[in-house]
Chain A
């Protein structure tokens, strides 16, 4: 059971300003039935003073979604749209004496409905910039989408960095496993080559590699990959050579290997074998990256 404040319960059981506002001149629709919550905010704005004369809502959603909608209409009535636009989702949550971290998105939905309604009034198009994923950190209400975006944007590689950038995992620490999984997922998508190229020192060609023709080199790559296949097939997986483009070798991982969390580890191991067999540094990449790698 959620630990809802008395105020949330009151606004859920006795919602203020619910229903259709017939003479509304600003309407903001956000959410969807797929997401499990949706809100239509209807405002009557005085064109002279730009004051919100009346506000009503219709909401499909949980207790806190209905309570947040009700609170929103109470807060903004009588305000000018300039004042109303300064409203943050935290203001809505504060008005309700707080919301559980899992439910903060309900207050976000309220603020966005307000912005959508004002955009509608002004004849502007409104675009939602808000994306959310499963809640990871319950202490600071940080969801998977925000963590993933932050990891991507900043090239984060450790849980500690994620804590510093997003606060996620900085409280009770019980979500660290989930954060590690997001890090692994992003690492896998962003980079399959285990070494940064600048750091890779090419092997001593003269000593390690007898001069190979392109054909010999291609055969060597094929043989190396063939030798690995039985091992993968034993685990219900497989690998297929797709393309050789200079130092980039593209393969298709199939069956149990595809999408497996071990995929990057598998590629990594095979890449090492190829480097050994060829005596030069090569990168092993999934075929999906063809044309996308410099």
Chain B
């Protein structure tokens, strides 16, 4: 039996594409120059960075390459965007975001709230969808920035950010989107939107960790997070992470080439995985907005079993996935995304996210479909909430809850 490890946790991070690594290597050795230097060591590197910038621009459909600012990753881009908007518009003190954002947004907003800013966190329905009427009612003359993720990292659910950006502009607010789970998975054409700022993360699209981008629309009022040298036109000081920038450029070019493949082939494998598991396992269901998702993500809630236990057994079978279970994070609550969607506790602790990449094969998917049902059955056989006849939640109600 084939036991080679299967990696289905690509929303957490991806493998660097071989072409990316190859393109980066010279920048650790012969091409070590500082792109700001006035000699040939520097100018060659500066040229390579310019080329990378254009590749990112093309993938995002940005109008100008100067709208691309290289950062250390998604978290830095997210923090820069929100803090910039608040500084650039000091007469506005209101932030709108959603209850299901990444922690890079939510933890920052929690902190800003303590400092006196007013934060609105838009709710989602049980399918993970926003209510645009609630959003419209929240927008006001004091709203400085709206930050809404393009796709949710746990369920893959897409938000209507293009419409939301137009609505934000109507009240003079800036619009930022955390697009780390979307770039390279669906086609984006920023110049046709009103989005002011967008975050992307290299390691989610087969580039290395520690590199990301903040897209900043020309003309958007901006205040840098890091001040210092004139790198990135003074908008993000600090000597460039040259090798990683070059790697990200190659990764973006490859992602651009594979967009159609991801949509059709990766999407097909994801659907096959979902159908196979749902057919074989009782009491499980897909979370999120099934008809409106990125093509690589499937989040399945297995009732009456706990996610970490599932992951440990999957890992033993050579399968890597992730869970919204409380136990995997060391906190006591299941994932904030599952809670925001109102997924019942009987299922929220047992949610498993499978996230594919363009390197996932059909044979791997068949192995996962075969491996999952016995694991769930085994854990349910250990559980006081399950008998041979099915769930027994009513028969088991301990002294405290």
Chain A interface residues (CB < 8 Å from chain B) = 2, 9, 12-13, 15, 18-19, 29-40, 58-66, 102-103, 116, 126-128, 132-135, 138, 235-236, 256, 260-262
Contacts and interface: CB of A to CB of B under 8 A. Distances in A.
B384 A127 contact: no
B105 to A, nearest CB: 19
Nearest to A177: B111
B76 interface: no
B334 interface: yes
Interface in B383-401: 383-385, 393, 396-401
23 contacts: A13-B313, A13-B316, A19-B381, A29-B396, A30-B400, A31-B400, A32-B400, A32-B401, A33-B345, A34-B401, A36-B306, A36-B332, A38-B396, A59-B383, A60-B382, A65-B327, A103-B327, A116-B399, A128-B399, A128-B400, A236-B93, A236-B94, A261-B113
Interface in B62-102: 93-94
A64 B309 CA distance: 9
Contact of B399 (A2, A59, A66, A127): A127
Given A40-B384, A236-B94, A60 B306 contact: yes
B349 A29 contact: no
B116 A65 contact: no
Given A33-B385, A235-B118, A61 B309 contact: yes
Contacts of B384: 29, 38-40, 58-60
Given A33-B349, A236-B94, A66 B334 contact: no
Contact of A61 (B93, B306, B397): B306
A60 B332 contact: no
Given A33-B393, A60-B385, 7 more contacts: A31-B400, A38-B396, A39-B384, A61-B309, A62-B308, A65-B306, A236-B94
A15 B383 CA distance: 12
Counting contact residues on chain B (CB < 8 A from A), the size range is 35 or more
B325 interface: yes
A181 B313 CA distance: 38
B114 interface: yes
Contacts of B187: none
Nearest to B116: A262
Contacts of A126: 399
A32 B193 CA distance: 47
A61 B382 CA distance: 10
Interface centre among A12, A32, A61, A138 (most CB of B within 10 A): A61
Interface of B: 93-94, 113-114, 116, 118, 142, 304-309, 312-313, 316, 325-328, 330-332, 334, 345-346, 349, 381-385, 393, 396-401
Given A40-B396, A235-B93, A260-B116, A35 B306 contact: no
Nearest to A256: B118
B113 A260 contact: yes
* 5 closest A-B pairs by CB: A62-B327, A29-B398, A62-B308, A102-B330, A58-B384
B400 A38 contact: no
Contact of B116 (A15, A18, A235): A235
A35 B304 contact: no
Given A12-B312, A35-B401, A40-B396, A59 B327 contact: no
A260 B400 CA distance: 32
Contacts of B385: 33, 38, 60
Contact of B330 (A12, A40, A135): A135
A60 B118 contact: no
A18 B345 CA distance: 24
Contacts of B400: 30-32, 128
A32 B308 contact: no
A58 B116 contact: no
B31 to A, nearest CB: 36
Given A33-B349, A36-B327, A12 B309 contact: yes
Nearest to A105: B332
B118 A29 contact: no
Contacts of B116: 235, 260, 262
A58 B396 CA distance: 11
Contacts of A31: 398, 400
A103 B114 CA distance: 30
B240 to A, nearest CB: 30
Contacts of B306: 36-37, 60-62, 65
Contacts of B332: 35-36, 132-134
Contact of A36 (B313, B326, B398): B326
A58 B383 contact: yes
Nearest to A138: B330
B399 A61 contact: no
A36 B312 contact: no
A54 B313 CA distance: 28
Contacts of A62: 306-309, 325, 327-328
Contact of B383 (A60, A64, A260, A262): A60
A183 to B, nearest CB: 14
A36 B393 CA distance: 13
A150 to B, nearest CB: 19
